[in-house]
Each structure stands twice: as structure tokens, then as C-alpha cells.
Structure 1
Amino acid sequence: MLSIRIPRSRRFLLASAALTSFAALDPPAALAQQAREPLPPVEVSPAQPRKQAKPAGRDAQSAHRAPARRPVAASTAPKPAVPAATAQTPLNSNAVAESASRLGLTVRETPATVEVISAETMREQGYRTVSEVAQGAVGVTSGDNPAEPSAFSMRGFTNSQINTLYNGIKIGPQNMTSRVMDTANLEAVEILKGPASLISGEGAAGGAINFVTKQPHTGAISNEADFSWDSLNSFRAHYGSGGSTNVQGLDYRFDISRSSLNGFADDTNTKTLDVSGQLNYRISDSLKVWGAIEYREDRSKAYWGAPLVPVAFSGSHATSGIVSGNYISNYNGTNLGAVTIDDRTFNTNYNVLDNRNVAQEVWLRGGFELKLAPDLTLKSQAYGYGAERTWFNNEVEAFNAGTNTVDRERFYVAHSQRLVGNITDLIWDANIAGFDNRMVTTLSSSYLDFVRPGAANFPGDSVSLVDPARGTYGLLTTQQQTARIDNEALSFEDRLKLTRTFALIGGLRVEHIGLDRNSTDKNGLEKASFPFTKDWAPVTGRIGYTWEAVPGLTFFSQYATGADISANNIFLLAPTQPLDLTTARTYETGVKHLFWDNRAEWSFSAYDILRKNVYAAAGGMALNIAGRQESKGVELAASVRPIEPLRLWGNIAYVDARYADYNFVGGSFSGNTPPNVPRIVANAGASYRFFTPWPVEFGITGRHVGDRYNTDANVVTLKAYTVADVYAFVDIPKTVFNAVDQARLTFRVRNIADKRYAIWGDPFYPDQILVGAPRTYEISAAFKW
């Protein structure tokens, strides 16, 4: 093991920790007593008391019919009690998303496109993993490629061009750090579109997706339990409990979930375990402290996709409507001609018998919220994160037109990651020349140590297309890479209300990133040009406005910038690669409208994003450099409840994403579309509820995803597809289970038409395609008491 040394940011980290400790242990005795609630959004004049934004409720839901939920409060602060009655909006625009702004703004008050999907929506829509949550959002697609689980695409950008956050904290590039995650322990998933560097730092050219764990509430203890089973013999189980304890001011939340999701391919499954807990303690009306811990584990027998096969070879087993195009194998160089997915490979697993894909993660978080004065609040949190990940698989499955067999190649890599950091916010509410103003100053620092043993040899063989002899991994020789990264950032965000209906909102972030990299061969000797160090200092920001022209109708616009590190994977950055920043900017404008007595809501946005100095994935773990990536599009979402039993919702997104100045020796990809980016993504749903003694609801959801490509070359098309799910649930009266307040039994059919389709393509492994799951049946039960 490598010893962890204190980097040049140690003084910064120690100072932050000292500030946290001092404020928590020695609050001024003369502080004014304040109400026991988190910071409200800046919405009303000083003459009126500010109130917590009221979140959307079940009867007026988001594009996914978002049910009643607490607003997503700051990740550094405890949650308030659940209000007895809350305002309800169909698109959940009263929710507060910390990943979009630190100002405590609701979605409707934020000059950007933001979605918040609540825990109740996840339960009703049957979203089992975060990838399924993303697929229901506006214009978002996802694929659980085992090399990069929980990969996302939105607004023309994919994978590490989108920041993945955990309770507002970034742990590294998505394609290195994200894992399959069950939704049972989540309170909400927040999705911010467009450059998000102001809030979450470098790497957020396409936006950010934030996973928020369930947190304590003040009030009576409530418990919940959920169980499900499907026709693939998968199961999920979850228990959660939270509320106020017998100790005055002490609230808790505890959740434990376990799942085993079996794949449709032979001998494939993913097992997850998630245990999370948090304590909030109100020491006084002006000081709150909290602490949280979480352990996550996932173990997979992975499905790496189906190989592209010549139509001429498959004959009567060739399929249509899944892929098309002519292809020369990136791995073995043979010309496959017109390609297809052979129907005999739908359930075939080409992975070795001793394969494994495993991760264990531990989170420790804690902090405080201290009211220094009625208009001044200090919030801080310290965090520590550790992860151990392992991939041990056959990852290449390339059909060889010369031998009519499938060429395979093994790959091994492991991660040992440690991260510590601190985020401190100072929030100041003021009246400047008669105008309401709120400013948040944020100081953050972190230190990351990353050790990456990997394969130094890559055993390979060839197997038959049908009923392959899977074998075992074979001889493994390893080498090692390391990365040590320190990060400091200072940011300012401000909202100035020029009138009661018009507000200017902007911010600036100054960031420093220091990198130390090393790489050794199988004998432990340093490779050429290693070790090396590099520093970056990106400056990013946002400026925009919101204007509520008439009550409920809000117009917004923004200009925002973002920055990534070269190759968008700081852990693998080599000294021979250009070490320049990749930059991004966006123009966006739109409208959000809540009307018809809060029974209907719609939103529209149009955007133009430009990203320069882009590093694009190519087969064989190589990288190409594209001069620019341009993305223009529109998004529309709407939800309405015309009558009490009926709910309708839908969304559609169109994007035109293209490379420019993408030239290399032997050709050009200028004008091509980035991989896994469809032009059109649409979702729609409807449900009808019968208010009988045992209430019953029937619902249907549909999803359409347009054509995509699996590589920058755009020679193989993943064909457009449309799938639909149906469900029915019955709410069982309390008289049946006296000890249970709410009980629900649900039956669901996924992919009811049994559509076969390509869901994702990994540009690092372009010879194979991930196929979507066939029709499955699921039954679940949920209880609350």
C-alpha cells in the first residue's frame, strides 16, 4: 500500500476543519433565537416573514407525477418536519435543488432547467436503479455498461461530461467512480441541465445529476417496508425508519436495502446492499449539528453485450430494427460488411466463468448550521469517502469474419480511493437600496488519493458465436497507476430582486486543481516521463434572470460556463497528452408556467452549448481530440390533472449535437454525432384512479428514443425504439392490517410488447452492443406505519 502524504492543500484543509470545530463547540452566547427551520428561498420582501418553499405533493406531480415530498434542503443541514399541507405543482417546481443553486431557490425560481424526482415518484413509476430514474427525465438516456455503470447522456453530452454527485459532493469522473445504485435509500434525484461548474466544479459541461439520501424529519416516527419480485427471479427489500427521538431536538433516519437483480443473459446478476443513517441534533434554536454514515456494496456477474455479426453469417437468425450499418472490426480488423445482432446471442454470456465486478463504498459526513445573526448563517460540512472497486472480466467480444468465431480479451483493474474534504457556506440576507438580496460565499477544499492496479497482460482466445466455452480468466500480471489530487475553490452566488417579480441571479467560481501522477510497470519501475505534476485554475460562472410576468408564468435566461481537465479523466491522464483545459459555455432561455389552480404545469427551454478542446473515446482505450462539440436543442415538459382521477404527463427533447474541427491522420469526424446521443427522446404517461373502498389505479408509461451511434465514426446505427410499461396497484384499507397505516400491492409489466432494442454502445468496445431487457413481470408490496 502507498502511504498517503499531506499535499500542499493541507493548510487549507486544516483551517477549514478548525473553523468547523470552533463554530460547533463555541457558538456565541448572545445569538438571537431563531425558528427551527432551514434557510428559506429569497422570495418575499423584508416586510413579510420568509417561509420555507413548499414542495410538490402527490396530487400535482412532475412529469413523472412527483408526489408529496420535503424540499431538498442543503446537504449540509438537517431537514425540517414534513408540513401537514403543502402546495402542489404537477412538475414539482416547488422543490429546492441544492445541486442547482446554493441560494435555496425552488426549481421555478432557478434560471436553468432543473428536475427533481422524488422517492414517491420512484416508487410509483417502479424505478429500481438510478439509471431507470434518469430514463424517465426530460431528454436523458442511460446505460448500465459494466465498464462505466450508471452512464448518462443529455443535451448531447455523455459520461464524464456530466457530473455525478452524492449529496452534493463530487468523488471523481463518472466513468471511473459511478456504480449501479438502488433507489430505495434515496429521497430524491436532482438533474441540472447545462454547464454546472459553479456549483459542482470541473467536469460539468453537460450538467449534473445529484443523488440525495433519505434524511431525518422532526415529528412522529414513521416506518416503511418494501418488497418486490419479478419473473427473472430478481428481488428487492427495503426497510426505513425516521422521526424524533425521546431526546429533545434529536431526530434520526435509518434505511437498509438489499437487492438481487438478475439479468436476461445467462449467469448475469447484480446484487446490492445499502445501509444509511443520519442524526440531526438541534442544540439550540440557533445551532444544529448532524452526522451521517453510509455503506454501499454491489457485486455483479456482468453482461458486456452482444457482438456485431455479419448479416451474411447470421442468415435467418439476423434481426432487424436493432442495429444497422457496415462495419470493419476495431479489434481484429476484419470486414464484417452489413452487421446485425444474431437472435441466438440474445441470452448469451461471453464473460469468463470466474468474472466479477465488485465495489464497496463508505461515506462519513457531518456538519453544522449556525445562525450568527438573523440575516447571517454559517453552514459547514466535513466528509470522508473510501471505495474499493474491482473489474475482473472478459470485456472484448469481437466477431472475426476470417474465422467466424468471437475473439475475446481479458481485462483487470482495481481502485483504492480515499477522499476527504470540507464545504463551508456563509449566507447573507440583506436589503440593498430597497432591494432584497441574498449572497452565498462558499469555500471548499478536498484531497483525493487514488491507487489503480491494472492488467499488464491481456489474455485472449476465440470462442464460437453460439454456446461458447466460457473458460476462466487465466494468467494475470499487474502494473500500477496513482493519482493524488488536491482541490480548493472559492465561489460566490447572488440573487438580487429588482422588483417583486424580476430577479438577477449570478455567480463566480475560482478553482485550483493540483495533480500528482505516477505509473509503474509490472516490475515496479517507473515508466518514462513519470512521475509528473500539473496545476489548473479554471474560472467559471453563471449570470441569468427570472421574471414572473404574471402569477405562475416565469421567464428565464442564463449564460453559463464550465471547464474540464484534459481527456476528462484526471486519474488516467498521461504526461504525453495535452494538459489544456476543455471549456464549455451555454446560452439558455425558457419559460415555466403553473396554472389552472395548480392542476397544470408546463416548461420549455432552448439552449446552445459549445465545448472546445474535446477529448473523445475511441476503440482500444484510445483518445482522439476534437476541436469543438456543438449542441443545440429544445425541451418541453407538461403535466395536467384535468379531473380528479386522471393524470397525464409527457416530455420531449430534441438535440442536434455535432463535432467540428475533428480532424486526424487519415480522416475527419467533423459533422458527426457523438456516441449514444439520440436526436429525439420522448416520454409520456397516463393513470386513472378508481376511488372504490379499495382504491385501484391503472397506469401506462411509454418511452421513445431515436437513432444513435456507438462511435464517433457514425458507421453503426443503434436503431430507434419505443417501449411501454403498464402497472396497476391497489391501496389496501387500514382495517385489513390494523398495525399498518398504508399498504399497497402493485403489479407491473415492463416492456409489455417484448421489444428487442439496443440500449447503449461503449465507444471503447465498439464491436459489441448492449441489448435492452425483454418483457418482465413484477409484483411488489409496500407498507407504512
Structure 2
Amino acid sequence: MLSSTALAALLLPAFAHAEDASEAADKSDILVLGTRTGDANAPTQTGSRLGLTILETPASVETLSGDVIRARGDLSIVDAVTRATGISSVANPGNGGTGLAARGFSGPGSVMQLYDGVRLYPGAGTVTFPTDPWTVDRIEVLRGPASVLYGQGAIGGAVNVISKKPNTTRTEFEAEAGFGSQNSWRIAAGVGGPVNELTAYRFDISRTQSDGWVDRGNSKGLAISGSVQLRPSDRLTITLSDDYSDQEPMLYFGTPLINGRIDDRNKRRNYNVTDALMRFKDNRTTIRVEWTPSDSISVRNTAYRLTTHRKWRNLESYFWNGATGKIDRFDFFGIDHDQTQIGNQADVTIRSEWGGLKNEVLVGFDVNAISFRHANDFDSDPAPAGFADPVDPFVFDPGLYYNTFGVRPQHRSRTRQYSFFAEDRLTLSDQLSVSVGINYDHANVKRYVNSYDTAGVATETLRLDKTLHNVTWRVGAVYQPSPALSLYGQYATAVDPLGSLITFSIGQAAFKNTTGDQIEAGIKASFLGGRGLATFAAYRIVKKNLLATVPGSLPPRQDQVGQRSAKGLEASLTLDLPGGFGIDANGTILDARFDEFLSGGTSYNGKTPPGVPETTANLWLRYDVTPRFQTRLGLRYVGKTYSDNANQFRVPGYAVVDGGVSFAVTKNVAANLRVYNLFDKDYATTTYNDEQWLLGRPRSIDFSISARY
């Protein structure tokens, strides 16, 4: 652990002035990145389809700038978005390393992930795109139900990753190369700008690699993003984009506790097999057309195709056996996912005045065809006796993956979805506006199951033909006693799938989606000429029709019963002070619980749902010592969670300190030093099984050179 003297040495520049005001006048020419996290008066794409600003939206919306994300050194989308208010990680290899929790609800089925405003459909609870922040312009976060905007699967919130787009006014180039602890390195570059008055382009590429912080923890990733924009006229824009991701994540499914605790002797052991495999390939192609035939009408259309290929070959589960003093390893899982999503989203916005009252109304639709194929080796012969025998916790032979015949197709699904949505904002006066929205979402899922004869010949049978349809709506109001102060309230309804829509299981055929609603009120204030933004929100969300096992049923039978809820308070503060000081702070406290939930004869009433921290906080301090020298210090706090419904397995909370300095060698080139987990805290970011913790990165130091022209 670093001493307080070492910490003081790191932060000492933050309290020393070394250059005069004449140099400060040239600050705009110096490469010091990441000084602003958002603008309260800039339109957002996530809290409303009408492009309202943060102050105009009757909901909790937050924007994370891509420059700020990269300056802080966040290495993944999850790392970046969990700096936002009330967002925490439940990422593990099973959900693609992207799972999030918000407002008392967790996982891809309750916290929706979008890319450029298009929702990504989880397959078997898994989303693997996007992950690399290098290609990101910004991330917008909507907390609370978002079904009225994006359909089912967003009772906790929605996270919208917005990619970099062509700059139509000037050519720009940026690059970064870095190396650090665990032999981690990154090389990334981006270039874009106008070709002529008609055409502009953008291209970004990022390559990463690391040895990881556990045995055989190697990982690597490649992200490529490119777009071409055509502007035949001032009123028509056509953008063609393609985004590609190839990830080989760390082959680490967690560290088993020994006697209920992290043991220093095994916290860097990897209990997976030597020839384990995990690889995710995603590719998305998009054509977006934006047409403004007049000042009062706007038309948008986005057509897209997303393909995903995922592979797992792992020994995934490890438990401490107190009777033998060994680690029991089991669950050889070989799984393949092949998924294709083809869709189109369109809307029309009409702006008008009724008797002097301004009105904006938007109507639109989206339609998707998703095919999903699942292959596994679950019905292979049992592993031979002794193959997965208990191993010594500290010294062992990892062994090889066991498979008798290979992974083969087990089932596929075909999902056809469409929705119609509308949103209206009526400005009653300069101070008061009312917004309403409605969404009708319809989906049909067909599931085909393979059965194999003794010769290995497959016969495919339609086993599920399920249609789901729901209507959700939202009504909200914003009162602005001054242009920089907003008081708002809203009521919203929501729908969550029982699992993942496109992999709706045969056992769930008799059931409907879960439903919920939220009431929220809050205040937002911009001050100091836009250099400060403060928000506060209070809410209560209720979710009904949970899926539970009927007590005493043999074989076990499920039913929809009971409810869970979450109520909480959230606050945030962003402040840029004269003299180069900057503060970003946020925090949340909530009470999440099962209100009424009886499953398998056990009552979980009053228990906290798993994976949900009831307190979180983030703090970032920034000080520009000179126009060339910036220092940063960050604190991430996540409260305790539980890994089971009964709250028998408690995961302690943690606080992690990060920091960094950047020095502009020239006005275009900077050197950056970043420190992660400054005090070398042992902590679990999330869990895989009840007592199998995925440990966070230990103390690490990375150095990089960045350039921008």
C-alpha cells in the first residue's frame, strides 16, 4: 500500500501555481483533455426522442463526454458508465462483461443498452457490444423506466453509447499509445473531417492487450469504427456507418472464497482450464437519413444490421470444500451464439403553435427481425471419474477442457418485433411544459428445438410460438422559474421480459412480461454561467408478476406472483471553478426489496434482490495546475450487495481511488500517467455463483502518449 507521503507527492502539483496568467490566456491551444462532463443546455438523444436538453427533460438524464472518459483512463464502457450516478456493474463472462444495475434492478433485461439510439437485444442474457471507449463520442444515461421510448427491458434505465461522427468543418486527428502494469498496452488512432462540401468521414481503430491480473489472464481486443456522411443539401444528411468489435476477454470466472473470505494465497489463481476459450465478434452496419423539409418538420430513418458470434469453452464453477480443504471445480460449458438483427427505426417530428402555445409532437415506429442460434455440449456424456476432481487451492494442474463430441446446435429462435411510439411536448408558458409519451410494443418469438438420434442426425421441432404485446406510457411536467432552474415530476410505466425476449424459454410459455411503474420528482440547476450543474431526484419503482417456483410442486412448477420495489434518492454536482479546479460528484441511496415473493416454499419478503448495491458514490477532482499540467483524483464507492435472494451470501462494499496527471509536451502532444486502485484494495466487482467473486484490478500504473491535431 502507498504511504500517505507517496500520496501527497502525487497530489502536490494540485496545490502549486507555477505559471502566470499570460500563459493561461493560451489555454485553448494546449492539449489538456477532459475538462467538461456535459452541458445542461445541449440536446440529448436518450431521455426524449424530441432532443430535449437535460433541463427540459422530466427525467434523470446524464451525459458522459468521451474526452472525459478517455482522460480518466476508463478502459471499458462498463468502467466509464459506472462513474454515472447510481449505476453499478454486474458484469461477468456469462452476460458478456456488460451487465449493469440501476435503481434497484440489474442485468441486461432491466437496464437496456443502446448504440446510437438503437436497442441491442440480449441473447440468453448476453450483450457483447460495444465495449471500447475509444470510438465513443459520449454516453448518455437515462435512469428509471425507459420502456415508453425503447420498449421492454428498461425498468431500471437505459444506457445509450453514441459513436464518433464525421466533423464537417475541419479535419482532426487523435491518437494514443500506452503501456502499463500486467503488460497492458493500447494503440489507438482516429481521423476525420470534410472531403469537400458534400462529403465528410470518420475512422477510428483501437487495439488492446493485457496479461491480466490472474494466472493465464491474457486478453486482447480490436475495435474499428468508420462512417461517411453525405450532405446533398443543408436539409438532408445521409450517414453510412460500420462498427466492428473482436474481443478475447480475460478467461477468468472468479475466485472462490476460502472459509468465506478472500485468501491472499489464491486471489491471483485462475481455476479455469488451460485451453479455455472466450471470443466475441460483433459487427453493425447502419444507414441513417436525416431530412428537414421545413423548419417545422424533421424526418429521421435508421436502417441497420447487427451480427454477433460468441464462443465459450470453459470450466466455470469453483467452490471451497471445507471438509477436504480442496477447491471443487465443475460445469464444463461449451456454448456458441450466432445472432443477426435486421431492423429499421423511423420518426417524424412536427413543431407548431396552438393559440400561442408551442407544441412538438413525434410519431414513429421500429421493426426488427432477429434470428438467434444456440449451440452447446450440455447433453454430452458425464466427464470421466476423477477428471474434475477437487484441486489444491494454491498449486494445481489446470487441466484441459473436456468434451465428448463437440458443441452442436440445440435450438434457434426467430423473433419478429414492431412498435409504434409517440411523444408530445406542450409548452404552456415560458416556465411550464408538459410531456406525454406512449409506446405499443409487439413481438412474436418462435423457438425451434433440435433432437438427435443415435447417429447424431438432428430433427428440428417448433416448440414455442409466443406473442407478447404491451402498452407503456409516461407523463411528466417541467417548471422553470428561471431558464437555469428546473423542477420536474413524472409518472411512467414499464415492461421487463422474464429473461431475454429472443431466447424466451419453453418453460415460460404460459407467462406474460413483468410490469412496473415509477413516480419521480426532482430538481436541476445550472449556475455559474453553465460551469456548474446540480441535480437531485427522488423516486419509487414497483415491479410486479415475478416468476417463482410453486411451493411443493413436483416436478417444480412456476407461476407469476408478488412484487419487488425500489425507492431512493440521487444527487449529482458538476462544477468548473476559476483557476482550473473541477469537481464531479454523485451519490445515491436506495431501499430495494422483495415486497412479496414466495418461491419454492421460501419467503424472501423484505430481502434485497441480488446484485443491487443500496449505496453508491463517485467523486472526481481535477486541477489544471498550469495550461500544460493537469492532475486528477477519483473515488469510486459501491456499497454491499448480496449474491442470493435469501441474503445469506454478502459481498462487502468497496472504495477504490484512482488518479492521474497529464502534461502537454507541446500544444498537440501530451504525456499521461494514470494510477488505478491506488491503495491496492482487494474487492469484488460482481459475483459468479454465490461465493465466487470476480476481483477488480489491483494497483496498476499506465503511461501513455496522446496527440491531437
Task: Note whether the superposition's TM-score is higher than 0.5.
Answer: yes
Which residue of structure 2 aligns with residue 446 of structure 1?
368
Q: CA deviation at 1:309?
A: 2.1
How do 1:738-757 and structure 2 match up within 5 A?
Answer: 742-757=668-683
Which residue of structure 2 aligns with residue 303 of structure 1?
252
The alpha-carbon distance between structure 1 residues 504 and 530, as it changes in their structure 2 partners (threshold 3 A), is same
Q: Work out the CA distance in 2 between the residues paired with 1:753 and 1:127.
A: 18
8 A Cα contact 1:143 1:151, kept in partner:
yes
Q: CA deviation at 1:178?
A: 2.8
Which residue of structure 2 aligns with residue 111 of structure 1?
58
Secondary structure of 2:42's counterpart equals coil
2:653 corresponds to 1:720: yes
Which residue of structure 1 aligns with residue 238 of structure 2?
289
Which residue of structure 2 aligns with residue 413 of structure 1?
335
Q: CA deviation at 1:476?
A: 4.2
Q: CA deviation at 1:548?
A: 0.8
Q: CA deviation at 1:143?
A: 4.2
1:347-395: CA deviations, max 9, x gaps?
A: 0000011111101111111031223333122211111111111111011
2:312 corresponds to 1:391: yes
Gap regions ≥5 residues in structure 2: 1-26, 550-556
- Which residue of 486, 501, 508 maps to 2:431? 501
The alpha-carbon distance between structure 1 residues 649 and 370, as it changes in their structure 2 partners (threshold 3 A), is closer
Secondary structure of 1:597's counterpart equals helix
How do 1:222-371 and structure 2 match up within 5 A?
Answer: 222-246=172-196, 248-310=197-259, 339-371=260-292
What amino acid does structure 2 have at the position aligned with 1:668?
S
8 A Cα contact 1:378 1:425, kept in partner:
yes
What amino acid does structure 2 have at the position aligned with 1:781?
I
Q: Work out the CA distance in 1 between the residues paired with 2:133 and 2:229.
A: 22
Q: Work out the CA distance in 2 between the residues paired with 1:192 and 1:476.
A: 46
- Which residue of 410, 432, 437 maps to 1:480? 410
What amino acid does structure 2 have at the position aligned with 1:757?
Y
The alpha-carbon distance between structure 1 residues 539 and 362, as it changes in their structure 2 partners (threshold 3 A), is same
What amino acid does structure 2 have at the position aligned with 1:547?
Y
Secondary structure of 2:529's counterpart equals coil
- Which residue of 572, 575, 582 maps to 1:637? 572
2:483 corresponds to 1:547: no
Q: Work out the CA distance in 1 between the residues paired with 2:662 and 2:692.
A: 38
Which residue of structure 2 aligns with residue 772 of structure 1?
696
Q: Work out the CA distance in 2 between the residues paired with 1:503 and 1:261.
A: 51
What amino acid does structure 1 have at the position aligned with 2:343?
G
Q: Work out the CA distance in 2 between the residues paired with 1:569 and 1:509.
A: 17
Q: CA deviation at 1:261?
A: 3.3
Secondary structure of 2:134's counterpart equals coil
The alpha-carbon distance between structure 1 residues 525 and 403, as it changes in their structure 2 partners (threshold 3 A), is farther
Q: Work out the CA distance in 2 between the residues paired with 1:661 and 1:274.
A: 45
Which residue of structure 1 aligns with residue 395 of structure 2?
467
Deviates more, 1:472-481 or 1:552-561: 472-481
Q: CA deviation at 1:286?
A: 2.7
Which residue of structure 1 aligns with residue 615 of structure 2?
680
Q: CA deviation at 1:528?
A: 12
8 A Cα contact 1:502 1:545, kept in partner:
yes
8 A Cα contact 1:91 1:638, kept in partner:
no
Q: CA deviation at 1:642?
A: 3.5
Gap regions ≥5 residues in structure 1: 1-57, 60-64, 69-89, 311-338, 735-741
What amino acid does structure 2 have at the position aligned with 1:557?
G
How do 1:397-436 and structure 2 match up within 5 A?
Answer: 397-409=318-330, 410-436=332-358
What amino acid does structure 2 have at the position aligned with 1:108?
L
Secondary structure of 2:248's counterpart equals strand
Which residue of structure 1 aligns with residue 19 of structure 2?
none
Q: CA deviation at 1:219?
A: 1.1
The alpha-carbon distance between structure 1 residues 536 and 139, as it changes in their structure 2 partners (threshold 3 A), is same
8 A Cα contact 2:155 2:516, kept in partner:
yes
Deviates more, 1:204-213 or 1:569-578: 569-578
Q: Work out the CA distance in 2 between the residues paired with 1:670 and 1:261.
A: 44
Q: CA deviation at 1:402?
A: 3.3
Q: CA deviation at 1:568?
A: 4.2
2:643 corresponds to 1:710: yes
* RMSD (Å), alpha carbons: 2.3
How do 1:5-154 and structure 2 match up within 5 A?
Answer: 67=35, 92-148=39-95, 149-154=97-102
Q: CA deviation at 1:176?
A: 1.7
What amino acid does structure 1 have at the position aligned with 2:464?
F
The alpha-carbon distance between structure 1 residues 262 and 189, as it changes in their structure 2 partners (threshold 3 A), is farther
Q: Work out the CA distance in 1 between the residues paired with 2:480 and 2:603.
A: 47
Which residue of structure 2 aligns with residue 51 of structure 1?
none
2:121 corresponds to 1:172: yes
Q: CA deviation at 1:705?
A: 1.3
1:446-500: CA deviations, max 9, x gaps?
A: 1000000012236444222112211011124445111110011110011110001
8 A Cα contact 1:271 1:300, kept in partner:
yes
2:582 corresponds to 1:647: yes
Secondary structure of 1:98's counterpart equals coil
Q: Work out the CA distance in 1 between the residues paired with 2:510 and 2:691.
A: 28
Paired residues, what number?
Answer: 659
Secondary structure of 2:93's counterpart equals coil
Q: CA deviation at 1:686?
A: 1.4
Q: CA deviation at 1:308?
A: 2.4
8 A Cα contact 1:703 1:723, kept in partner:
yes
- Matched-pair identity in %: 29
Q: Work out the CA distance in 2 between the residues paired with 1:642 and 1:358.
A: 45
Which residue of structure 2 aligns with residue 55 of structure 1?
none
8 A Cα contact 2:239 2:289, kept in partner:
yes
Q: CA deviation at 1:651?
A: 0.9
2:537 corresponds to 1:609: no
1:163-202: CA deviations, max 9, x gaps?
A: 1111111221273223571110111111110110122111
Q: CA deviation at 1:643?
A: 2.7
Q: CA deviation at 1:550?
A: 2.0
The alpha-carbon distance between structure 1 residues 479 and 668, as it changes in their structure 2 partners (threshold 3 A), is farther
The alpha-carbon distance between structure 1 residues 467 and 569, as it changes in their structure 2 partners (threshold 3 A), is farther
2:106 corresponds to 1:158: yes
Q: CA deviation at 1:301?
A: 3.9
TM-score, normalised relative to structure 1: 0.81
The alpha-carbon distance between structure 1 residues 526 and 146, as it changes in their structure 2 partners (threshold 3 A), is same
Q: Work out the CA distance in 1 between the residues paired with 2:158 and 2:629.
A: 37
Q: Work out the CA distance in 2 between the residues paired with 1:624 and 1:707.
A: 30
Comparing both chains, which one has the higher relative contact order based on Cα–Cα distances under 8 Å and sequence gaps of 6 or more?
2
What amino acid does structure 1 have at the position aligned with 2:632?
G
Q: CA deviation at 1:423?
A: 0.6
8 A Cα contact 2:548 2:600, kept in partner:
no
8 A Cα contact 2:492 2:518, kept in partner:
yes
The alpha-carbon distance between structure 1 residues 188 and 218, as it changes in their structure 2 partners (threshold 3 A), is same
Q: Work out the CA distance in 1 between the residues paired with 2:285 and 2:57.
A: 30
- Which residue of 581, 600, 611 maps to 2:532? 600
8 A Cα contact 1:267 1:349, kept in partner:
yes
8 A Cα contact 1:66 1:91, kept in partner:
no
Q: CA deviation at 1:665?
A: 2.7
Q: CA deviation at 1:715?
A: 0.7
8 A Cα contact 1:548 1:554, kept in partner:
yes
Secondary structure of 1:343's counterpart equals coil
Secondary structure of 2:133's counterpart equals coil
8 A Cα contact 2:446 2:462, kept in partner:
no
Deviates more, 1:427-436 or 1:765-774: 765-774
8 A Cα contact 1:604 1:637, kept in partner:
yes
